[in-house]
Amino acid sequence: MEERQQDSLERQDFAWLVIMSLLFFALVAAALWSEYATAWRPFQTRFKRDLAQAGRLEDARKFHSGIKQIWNPELGLVDRCVTCHLSYEWGGILPASLPQPLTPHPALPFMQHHPFERFGCTTCHAGQGWATTARGAHLGGAGWEEPMLSKRLAASCGVGEDELIQMRCNFCHRRDSSTQGMDDINLAKKLFKKKKCIICHTVEGQGGHTAPDLTFEGDKNPELFDFSHVSGPKTAFNWHVQHLIDAGKVSPGTAMPDFHFPPEQARALALLILSWRRIDYPPQYIPAPVAPPAAQPVSSSQPSPFH
């Protein structure tokens, strides 16, 4: 009787052991498949083929699949965008006609001052550099608050993608009087100086105290704006644009004059104001102010312009 009971228990244990073993192998197989069947693997396979077709056989041979990243401890930056955007620094070798995410980065004039190994991707384009999926990198997720600059994001804010990028560039270049590739921001800086906004507003400790401090206006939460007299989307950008066009209507009783800026000037100024945010980049990443060119002495052989 005891032998039969023991035999029955052993059979039950064996059955459970078989079931648990099969479950274990199923989980291992699922994990291996999940690792292999990643969204980025086909891009890396094509990238390797594109390198070979471009005559870079040795580079293609040395390329190995896996998560790629730009790591910069100075900025605390880990950008895994290059896991998919593999051609980012292969412009001139791989064709610009390659579809995204394999399109090489355009050879913009200012790129020589912004090398990838120092600035990465998210410094300029925003997004979640730690992510390993396109959705996580572009749109963010729980606990991540910085979506990538894109046409969709720009449209939701009522601006253009180029305008968003200019705003982000000015995080570092705010002290430049003019910056290459930032036409809207450059216009706004001229207008801000021409209209003597600094008489009433304080910016970085300088200016008057009869109007709000604008030093970090870009950090202000849109919920703190009064949209009672604003038409259209309830965004900080739209509030500033309408306030710059007709301050008395948007903020009844305000001491700010109604400058009645044309829409293009109001938009440029709104972009400038919203680009003024707190940043924690190391000092070596902040461009030094460019001194104005020294006045040339008048030659004795030339008539003075004052005579």
The full set of domain ranges for the chain reads 41-148, 177-285
295 pLDDT more than 60: no
- So what's the pLDDT on residue 100? 93
262 pLDDT more than 80: yes
User: What is the CATH number that goes with domain 177-285?
Assistant: 1.10.760.10
- So what's the pLDDT on residue 299? 45
Which residue from 196, 239, 199 is spatially nearest to 217, judged by alpha carbons?
Answer: 239
Backbone dihedral angles phi then psi of residue 233, each to the nearest 5 degrees: -65, 145
Q: Please write the tens of the pLDDT for every residue from 121-130.
A: 999 999 999 9
Question: Would you give the end-to-end CA distance of the chain in angstroms?
Answer: 128
Q: How far apart are CA 281 and CA 293, in angstroms?
A: 28
Paired tokens of 177? 């009087």
Which of 69-78, 105-114, 229-238, 285-294 is least confident? 285-294
Q: How far apart are CA 251 and CA 272, in angstroms?
A: 20
Read off the pLDDT of each residue in 112-120 and give the average, rounded to a whole number. 93
Is the distance from CB of 172 to CB of 99 less than 8 angstroms? Answer: no
Q: Please write the tens of the pLDDT for every residue from 179-230.
A: 988 999 999 999 999 999 999 999 999 999 999 999 999 999 989 999 999 9
- So what's the pLDDT on residue 266? 96
Q: Which residues contact 179 (CB under 8 A, 6 or more apart)?
A: 169, 170, 173, 185, 186
HSE at residue 134, side-chain half, CA atoms within 13 A, is 9
Is the distance from CB of 149 to CB of 165 less than 8 angstroms? Answer: yes
